[in-house]
Amino acid sequence: MGVIVQKYGGSSVANVDKIKNVARRIQKLTQEGQQVVAVVSAMGDTTDELVELGRRVSEHPPPREMDMLVMTGEQVSMALLSMALHELGLSSVSLTGWQAGIQTEPAHGNARILDITPDRVMNELEKDKVVIIAGFQGVTEEGEVATLGRGGSDTTAVAIAGAIKAERCEINTDVEGVFTADPRIVPRAKKLSSISHDEMLELATLGAVVLHPRAVECAKVNNVKLTVQSSFSDNIGTSIQGGRRMEKSIIISGVTSDRDAVKVKLLGLPNQTGVMSSVFHLLADQNINVDMIVQSEHGEETFDISFTIHKDDLHKTSEVINRNQEQLRFTEAVSETDLAKVSIVGSGMITNPGVAAKMFDTLSRNDIQIKMTNTSEIKVSCMIPEKASKKAVQVLHTAFGLDDMEIEG
């Protein structure tokens, strides 16, 4: 038997009873001869509550101090879970991110993991202890704590699994796996028994909140066996693997929507070489991720560009753009909210022409306006009015035959 890394999200450790449930799940694995490293998120909505508390004190709190505040949520969870394990007679130890050897870049609020030195983790495992690690956090070369941003605990778990060469990494959450759509929106959505890294990465990037894209990317790069499953049942979840999914030959694996997108438009940019590069370098320097990009020219002298960002980055984006208006020489910057991005994902698109046309036709026939589009080999995304997002997911799920898809395994 080897080491299993498990991640438990906020809903899995939301209260004392749920923490005790997690402890019993870990106990069961140890009784089967497995060693366990558990990565935990903050309890329930603790992180959101801490962020709100910080913003009540300061409208724009310093990123370092916000990290110092929100990282405490995971430390509460890890200590309580370790206590629950001790009550069951299991020897365990809780470790912060830096005690576990997680080294990050110096980017407060959205740091990436640079390296992991898991000596302390391995030493504790050699003592037959269950190791509980606070997700979402690490330490910079300068000794400053930094948090990993959205989905950071997922990424922590996968990175730890890769560093200690764990047998597998299990993402335990409040759903039983990866579905063809959000079951709350599409009651006939099906749970996938498996899905490829590439498809899962697209779904996660495009709004499927069951797993963070950075975790999928980390699993792919480090060849980590990854499973998404429920914390509240013993049903088999969804495995994420390197090859094509093991479902029957279908074109589309899933439909997803993201209501956190904002469209930003810069008007009247000078039509000169290097202007586009300047805009997006400025955003990249502030760790602002840009998704869809559309350029439209107006004669020979000027052009407009539209791009989408996460709504949490709107304030920072506006600051950067307005501060550099003289350098960029645009005439006006406008933003549009109340939008959603709906996407279809599937490796079958590569060999099946006409998928995008079918998506556009389906949305058109249902009177859903398309504002922007973006495509890759295995996905098509459309920016639409937010009020139409639920209907869009439902009609696309039906149009591509997912309502009646048969799942193997």
pLDDT in tens, 369-391: 999 998 888 899 999 999 999 99
Does residue 43 sit within a domain?
A: yes
Rounded to whole angstroms, how far apart are CA atoms 118 and 222?
15
State which residues form the domain around 325. Answer: 265-336
Residue 232: what are its φ and ψ, rounded to 5°?
A: -115, 10
Segment 233-256 mean pLDDT: 76
Evaluate if residue 67 carries a pLDDT over 70: yes
Last residue in a domain, options 319, 336, 353: 336
pLDDT value at residue 154: 94
pLDDT value at residue 298: 74
H or E element at residue 62: none
Burial class (CB in 10 A: 0-12, 13-18, 19+), 27: middle
Any idea how long the chain is?
A: 409
Does residue 197 sit within a domain?
A: no
Last residue in a domain, options 139, 174, 209: 174
Mean pLDDT in the chain? 92
Does residue 24 sit within a domain?
A: yes
Residue 168 Rama label (left phi>0; alpha psi -120 to 50; beta)? beta
Segment 97-108 mean pLDDT: 95
CB 164 within 8 A of CB 69: no
Last residue in a domain, options 129, 157, 174: 174
Same-domain pairing of 269 and 170: no
CB 54 within 8 A of CB 84: no
Percent of the chain clearing pLDDT 70 (strictly above): 97
Evaluate if residue 249 carries a pLDDT over 60: no
Q: How confident is the model at residue 246 (pLDDT cuts 50, 70, 90)?
A: very low
Read off the CATH number of the domain in which 97 is found.
3.40.1160.10
Strand ranges, E, within 2-70:
3-8, 35-40
Which value, in Å, is the radius of gyration of the alpha carbons in the chain?
A: 22
- Which pLDDT tens digit goes with each residue over 131-160? 999 999 999 999 999 999 878 999 999 999
Crossing angle between the packed helical segments 46-57 and 63-70, to the nearest 10 degrees: 140
Evaluate if residue 406 carries a pLDDT over 80: no
Same-domain pairing of 165 and 307: no
Does residue 188 sit within a domain?
A: no
